Amino acid sequence: MIEAAWGSNPRFADGVRYEFIRSEGRQFPSHRCLVAASEFHIRNGEKKFRAYREDGNFFYLAAIWEPAMGEWPVSYRIITLDANPDVIRYQARHGAIIERRDAQKWLDFAVPEAELLVTPPADIFTVEEILTKPVQTSLAF
């Protein structure tokens, strides 16, 4: 396990740091890595949401890593795919979920990407709004 920066080196992309990479039409024959997560965040207009597993388990997000270049450290980008039915109401895509039981399959390149980079089924995520302002839950006199 290593610490890495999230996002590609902007020096090689017209000053833009890319944090995600689409899965469609791509193969990832090297530099695969995993990002452990218990939830992911969604921004929809002014509102923010968090999505987490119904069963409470953590999961991994499929990613690719890039070596350090000059002053830019080792970095990674999360691979995305079409959002599952729980998330699609809030955004069209999310990070590719790798189940804990499939982590080694992703890392050892023994299984083709197409078998692991699939949109999860419905009813595995709970999505709830992240309230950014204090909410009064009772009336006090």
- Domain containing residue 16: CATH number: 3.90.1680.10
Residues whose CB is less than 8 angstroms from the CB of residue 80 and which lie 6 or more positions away in sequence, other chains included: 20, 21, 22, 23, 93, 94, 95, 96
Determine, yes or no, domain membership for 45. Answer: no
Q: Which of 40, 46, 60, 49 is nearest to 89 (CA)?
A: 49
Separation of alpha carbons 31 and 141, rounded Å:
60
Helices (H), 3-138: 103-107, 113-116
**Given this model, what pLDDT does residue 119 score?**
96
Number of domains in the chain: 1
Determine, yes or no, domain membership for 115. Answer: yes
**Given this model, what pLDDT does residue 9 score?**
72
Determine, yes or no, domain membership for 135. Answer: no
Q: What is the dihedral of CA 98, 104, 107, 110, to 10 degrees?
A: -110
Which residue range is the domain that position 89 belongs to? 5-38+57-121
Determine, yes or no, domain membership for 137. Answer: no
Q: For residue range 101-117, what is the model confidence (pLDDT) as tens digits?
A: 999 999 998 888 899 99
Q: For residue range 32-45, what is the model confidence (pLDDT) as tens digits?
A: 999 999 999 999 88
Phi, psi of 75 (to 5 degrees): -140, 170
Determine, yes or no, domain membership for 116. Answer: yes
pTM: 0.85
- The mean per-residue pLDDT over the stretch 109-130 comes to 93
Determine, yes or no, domain membership for 114. Answer: yes
pLDDT level of residue 137 (50, 70, 90 thresholds): low
Q: For residue range 38-93, what is the model confidence (pLDDT) as tens digits?
A: 999 999 888 999 999 989 899 999 999 999 888 888 999 999 999 999 999 999 99
Determine, yes or no, domain membership for 141. Answer: no
